[in-house]
Amino acid sequence: MNIAISFLIVAVALVAVLLLAVSLGGLERRARSDVERARSLPPAFSYSPGTASRDSADGDGWAYTPVAAPGTPVTNADLDALPEPARRYFRHAGVVGRQRIASFSVILDGRIRNGPGEPWMPLVMRQFNRLDNPARVVFLSSAKPPMNGIDSFLEGRGRMLIKAANLIKVVDSKGPEMAVSAFVTFLNDLTVCPLAYFSLPIRWRQVGPDGVELSMAHAGMTVSAVMTMDAEGRPVDWKTGDRYAEVKGRILKDRWSTPFEGAKEISGLRVPERGAGVHDYDGTPYVYVELDGIHDLVLDAKGLPDRT
């Protein structure tokens, strides 16, 4: 009887510790601290007004985003500097006449899985992105099983930290490959806030009738992707080879893509209604994340979004 009672006391104590850890939200506090760190950094580049050139110095056909300080409106002339599919995309997105921003936050809902054939887990992503010193801090949460995490890109470094019940570390990925992957994801984030493109030194060139290659350099890294639009300007796909996946302890080059569906208006901008993430590191692509809730977009955000 004494042994049984002792075991019960220990079990109750462990449950209490777990519940306390969840309620304290240690990782969420850390994510908010990361946001404050991101906001405190000096700008990584300066804004200079003016129009973009259609060609780079070596005549390779690149056009440059006409960047300007936050608060400066995006004009039709700014769009005219870009390749036609990009102009089509930005006109559909409704950026003309809107003021440039310094940051944004957004909430994404959906589901995620660890591999093909693995069960889906619910996913909520609450994130903050700064633009003039590229940074992203995403607080991830899943109720089944209970897991929280931080997916971050700060000062040119990337990290994915996941804990079960806020206690047991199950993923802690960092290093040069993670930095490149996080930078690519930062660039991909702009699809949920098209206005943000005009606060970043991105270059563009046309790829076929409906596609553009976009590229950006930062912190000694250069990444690129190809975005495809439909006839109305809605983005339908976004593909890159500049990303890595960690698979069973191995770092593999990943042909990563994020197909999109539909369109919706939030904060006065038209963005995809749904999206997905596709890994292809071995020639067999599979969908590992599905997002069907894109909401609470805040322009010039000051911090991580609150829970909904």
pLDDT given for residue 171 in this prediction? 86
pLDDT of residue 55 exceeding 80, the answer is: no
Q: How confident is the model at residue 49 (pLDDT cuts 50, 70, 90)?
A: low
pLDDT of residue 23 exceeding 70, the answer is: no
pLDDT of residue 155 exceeding 50, the answer is: yes
Of 9-18, 71-80, 90-99, 161-170, least confident by mean pLDDT is: 9-18
Kindly give, in sequence order, each residue whose CB lies less than 8 Å from that of residue 87, ignoring residues fewer than 6 positions away.
Answer: 79, 80
Kindly give, in sequence order, each residue whose CB lies less than 8 Å from that of residue 28, ignoring residues fewer than 6 positions away.
Answer: 139, 148, 304
Q: How confident is the model over 266-279, as a mean pLDDT?
A: 98
d(CA 238, CA 227): 4
The two tokens of residue 253 are 């080059």
Looking up tokens 């009738």 gives 209
pLDDT given for residue 307 in this prediction? 84
Average pLDDT, the chain: 89
DSSP the chain: -HHHHHHHHHHHHHHHHHHHHHHHTHHHHHHHHHHHHHHHSPPSS----SPPPSS-TT-S--EE-----TTPBP-HHHHHTS-HHHHHHHHHHT-TTPBP-SEEEEEEEEEE-SSTTSPPEEEEEEEEEETTTTEEEEEEEEETTEEEEEEEEETTEEEEEEEETTTEEEEEEESHHHHHHHHHHHHHHGGG-GGGGGGS--EEEEETTTEEEEEEEETTEEEEEEEEE-TTS-EEEEEEEEEEEEETTEEEEEEEE--EE--EEETTEEE-SEEEEEE-SSS--EEEEEEEEEEEEEET--SPPPP-
Of residues 54 and 88, the one with the higher pLDDT is 88
Of residues 21 and 37, the one with the higher pLDDT is 37
pLDDT given for residue 167 in this prediction? 75
Q: How confident is the model over 90-98, as a mean pLDDT?
A: 98
pLDDT of residue 63 exceeding 80, the answer is: yes
d(CA 85, CA 63): 12
Q: What is the pLDDT of residues 173-223, one digit of tens each?
A: 999 999 999 999 999 999 999 999 999 999 999 999 999 999 999 999 999
Q: How many residues are there in the chain?
A: 308
d(CA 133, CA 84): 28
Q: How confident is the model over 70-86, as a mean pLDDT?
A: 97
Q: What is the pLDDT of residues 279-290, one digit of tens each?
A: 999 999 999 999
Please give the domain boundaries of the chain with CATH numbers for all domains. Answer: 10-46+99-299 (2.50.20)
pLDDT given for residue 48 in this prediction? 65
Q: How confident is the model over 231-260, as a mean pLDDT?
A: 96
What pTM value is reported for the model? 0.89
Cα dihedral sign, 104-266-185-21? positive
